[in-house]
Amino acid sequence: MTDHPSKVPACEMTKGMLSLVLVLHGLVLATGCKSARSEFTCASMEQCVDGARIGICVQSGGAGHCAFPDSQCALGYRYDKTAAALANLCIGPSSSTDDMGAADDMATPPDMAVTCQPACSGTTPICEVATTAACRACGSNTECATATGSAQPVCSLSSGACVGCAGNSDCSAAKPICNVANGSCGPCTQHNQCPASGVCFQGTCLDVAKVVYVTASGSGCPAGPGSGTMVAPYCTVQKGFDIAAAQNKYVAVLAGTYTPAAGGVLTVNNPTADYVVKGIGIGNPTLSVSAMQGSVVTITNTTANHVNVQLDGFTIRGGSGDGQGGGPGSGVDILGGGNKALTQVSVTNSTITRNDFQGVSAVNATLILDGDTLSQNSFQNVLANNGIVTITNTTARESGYISGTSYSSIDGIAMVGSSLTMDKVIIGPKNGGSGLSLSQSTFTVTNTVVHRNGQSGFTSAAIEITAAAQPNQTLFNVTVADNVGTIPGIRCSSTQPIVANTVVFNNAIPNQATITSCAPTNSAFFGGGSPNQDLNNCTDKVFVNASTTNYLPLKGGAPPCSLVGQGVDSVVPSGGTAVTTNHDVVGTARKTGMFDIGGYQSN
C-alpha cells in the first residue's frame, strides 16, 4: 500500500483476518529512534499489516498504535516507527538488546498490566497475558476463580468456559442443584436431591444435624422410643415436634400413616415457653385419628408465649371419623388468645380432607394456607373467627360433605370478624353453600374463581358479604360462574366494597340480580338484571368453554361480550391502599394496560 499521514506503510489487511487488540495501561520505555513520519493511531489489528508482517493494535493512553513481532522483546512485539513517542519501543520488559543496540532493562510498573480487548468470555474466558495476549479456554478452577472471582469459579473442561458449577458438588446448601446446561446453581425441588439429610425445604437442602426424624414404621417402632436421628427416628409425630421445638430444629416426618390409638396426632396446649417448629412431610405422610378422638392437629395458646407451627407436605384427614359425621373433629383446630400475632399456624402444600368438622378452624390466631387442597370436610373447609388469614395457591371444594354425593348447605370458606388476603384461589366445585362468606371482615380477594357452588333452594350468594362498611374491602379480578341458588352471584349487605375487573356469569335463576348493593367498576355481568348486564346475548362468546370450566376469556369478542383488555390495572378501596396484581389465578402474567376481566388472563 502507499504511505498515508495517518496509516502505517502497507498496513491494509486481507479480508477475513481476525482482529486482536491489546490494552496496555502503561509501557516500559526502550532506547530507540523516533520516526519522522506522522503518528498513526489504530483501532484494530486489520490496520497493522506491513507486507508479510502482521502486527497487533496496542491501546495505550487512550490511543492505539501498531506493534510488530520482535523476538528480542519480552512480550514478542515492538512498536512501529509511526507510534510517535513509543516508536521502536518494546511493549513489555526485555533484558535483551533491541535493534538499536540499547538494552530494555526497565521493570514494568505494577499498574501496567496487559489485558485482552475485548474482554474474554464464553468458551475462551482466560486472557493469556504472558505469551499471545489472546483469549483461551480455561484449564483449572483456579484460573476461573482468579478471572471471575466468586461469580463463575469453576472451569468446565468440556466447554472451556468458566461457570458457576459443573456438578452439584460445586453448589452450596442454599442453592444445591447444578443446572449443567447453563452452569448455574439453583434451589432443590425434591427431597431426593439432598442426599445428606433427605430434606429439601423452600429450595434449600437442610443440614442433617438440624433435623429431627420421625417414622411410622421400621426398626424399634412403634415399641422403641428412637433417638430422632435418621438411623433411629422417633416413632410419634408428637415426640418429634416437641423435641424439634425445644432444640430449634426442623422435624422430618417420613412417609406412612400416623394414627394414634387415642387423641390427636399433634397437640400443642399452652406451652410454658415459645414453641416454634417447622414440620416437613417426606413422601406425603398421612395424619389421622381414630373414631371419636377429636381433631387431628390441635394448637391452643392463650399464653404470652409465641407459638408458630408449620406443616408442609402432609395429608390431614379423618378428624373424629373420616368425614362420616361421627362427631366434632377438625383437621387443624387453632385457638389463640387476645393477641392474634402470638399464635400462627401455616399449612402448605398439603391436603386436608374428610374431617367431621372444619378442615381448618382458626380463632384469635394467624393462619396461612398456601398450595393446599381442602375438600369433603363436613363443615367449612376454612373457618376463621377474629383471625388474620392469608390463602394463596389453594383449592377449596365440596364443603358440607355428608356421604356419597350428599352435601349440606355449608360455606366453602367463611370469615367472621377477620382480615383476609386471598390470591390465586379456586373455590369450587360443590361447596354446599356460598363459595366465600365474608361477615364483618376486611378483605382483599384477587385472581380468584368461585364456581359451581351451592344447591337448589340455597338462599345465599356465591360470594356473600355481610358487614358494615370498612376500609380495604376489595374483589379484584374475580370470576363468579355457574353457581346455584336463589340469590346467585355476589351480594353485598350494608356495605360498599370495591368490585373491579370482575365477571359474574351464568349463575342460576335467570332475571334475578347477579350483584346486589356492591360498587362494581370495569366489571361484566351476564345472565341477570344487574348493572352492565348483557341480557344473555353473550353466553357463547365470553369464555373459551364454560361448560368444561374453561373460564379463560375468549379472544375476538366485541363489547359487551369481550373480557379481553377491558379491566383496570389497579383500584383504591375506600379508606384503603391501592390494590394491583401482575398475574392471574394460575400465575399467567397480566398485561399492563391490557388487564382482562376475571380470574384468568388470556394467553
Q: pLDDT for 227-243, tens place per residue? A: 999 999 999 999 999 99
pLDDT beyond 50 at 112 = no
What is the average per-residue pLDDT within 153-168? 92
pLDDT beyond 70 at 597 = yes
Most confident option among 6-20, 165-179, 461-475, 550-564 = 165-179
How far apart CA 49 and CA 41 sit, in angstroms, is 13
| Of 254, 252, 231, 251, nearest in space to 243 by CA | 251
pLDDT beyond 70 at 326 = no
Beta-bridge mates of residue 63: 60
Indicate the pLDDT class of residue 108, thresholds 50, 70 and 90: very low
Do 86 and 63 touch, CB atoms closer than 8 A? no
Mean pLDDT (the chain) is 83
What is the average per-residue pLDDT within 507-526? 69
Under the phi-then-psi rule, with left for phi > 0, alpha for psi from -120 to 50, and beta for the rest, what region is 597? beta
What pLDDT is attached to residue 115?
Answer: 60
Read off the DSSP letter of residue 279: E
Do 575 and 471 touch, CB atoms closer than 8 A? yes
Question: Half-sphere exposure of residue 354, counting CA atoms within 13 Å on the CB side?
Answer: 15
pLDDT beyond 90 at 79 = no
pLDDT beyond 70 at 23 = no
Grid cell for residue 230:
435418621
pLDDT (tens digit per residue) in 139-148: 999 989 888 7
How far apart CA 72 and CA 55 sit, in angstroms, is 15
Which of the two residues, 406 and 509, has the higher pLDDT score?
406
Classify burial at 420, counting beta carbons within 10 Å of its beta carbon; exposed 0-12, middle 13-18, buried 19 or more.
Answer: buried
What pLDDT is attached to residue 219?
Answer: 58
pLDDT beyond 90 at 475 = yes
Do 120 and 20 touch, CB atoms closer than 8 A? no
What pLDDT is attached to residue 187?
Answer: 96
What pLDDT is attached to residue 437?
Answer: 96
Do 448 and 422 touch, CB atoms closer than 8 A? yes
Indicate the pLDDT class of residue 577, thresholds 50, 70 and 90: confident
Mention every residue, 6+ apart, whose C-beta is less than 8 A from residue 430.
397, 398, 407, 452, 453
pLDDT beyond 70 at 518 = yes
How far apart CA 552 and CA 538 sit, in angstroms, is 15
What pLDDT is attached to residue 308?
Answer: 98
Angle at 238 between CA 232 and CA 242, to 5 degrees: 85
What pLDDT is attached to residue 18?
Answer: 33
What pLDDT is attached to residue 494?
Answer: 65
What pLDDT is attached to residue 523?
Answer: 85
Q: State the pTM of this model.
A: 0.78
CB atoms within 10 A of CB 53: 14
Chain-centre distance for alpha carbon 122: 28
What is the average per-residue pLDDT within 38-43? 85
CA distances in angstroms from 382 to 21, 366, 410, 418, listed in the order given = 68, 13, 11, 12
Do 170 and 221 touch, CB atoms closer than 8 A? no
What pLDDT is attached to residue 218?
Answer: 63
What pLDDT is attached to residue 556?
Answer: 83
What is the average per-residue pLDDT within 74-102? 68
DSSP assignments along 283-327, one per residue: S--EE---TT---SEEEEE-SSS-EEEEEES-EEE-TTSTTSS-S
What pLDDT is attached to residue 464?
Answer: 92
Indicate the pLDDT class of residue 559, thresholds 50, 70 and 90: confident
Grid cell for residue 283:
413422601
What is the average per-residue pLDDT within 271-280? 98
Would you kindly state where each structural domain of the chain is located, as residue ranges?
1-118, 126-185, 434-603
Indicate the pLDDT class of residue 129, thresholds 50, 70 and 90: low
| Residue tagged 540499547 (cell numbers) | 102
What is the average per-residue pLDDT within 28-32? 35
Chain-centre distance for alpha carbon 77: 54
What is the average per-residue pLDDT within 53-59? 81
Do 121 and 151 touch, CB atoms closer than 8 A? no
Which of the two residues, 221 and 337, has the higher pLDDT score?
337
Which range among 130-144, 249-263, 460-474, 511-525 shows the weakest confidence by mean pLDDT? Answer: 511-525
pLDDT (tens digit per residue) in 403-456: 888 889 999 999 999 999 999 999 999 999 999 999 999 999 999 999 999 988
pLDDT (tens digit per residue) in 375-388: 999 999 999 999 99
Classify burial at 149, counting beta carbons within 10 Å of its beta carbon; exposed 0-12, middle 13-18, buried 19 or more.
Answer: exposed
pLDDT beyond 80 at 470 = no
Helices (H), 314-468: none
Mention every residue, 6+ apart, whose C-beta is less than 8 A from residue 150.
none
CB atoms within 10 A of CB 307: 25
CB atoms within 10 A of CB 465: 28
What pLDDT is attached to residue 302?
Answer: 97
What pLDDT is attached to residue 485?
Answer: 79
Classify burial at 278, counting beta carbons within 10 Å of its beta carbon; exposed 0-12, middle 13-18, buried 19 or more.
Answer: buried
Classify burial at 145, counting beta carbons within 10 Å of its beta carbon; exposed 0-12, middle 13-18, buried 19 or more.
Answer: middle
How far apart CA 54 and CA 68 sit, in angstroms, is 7
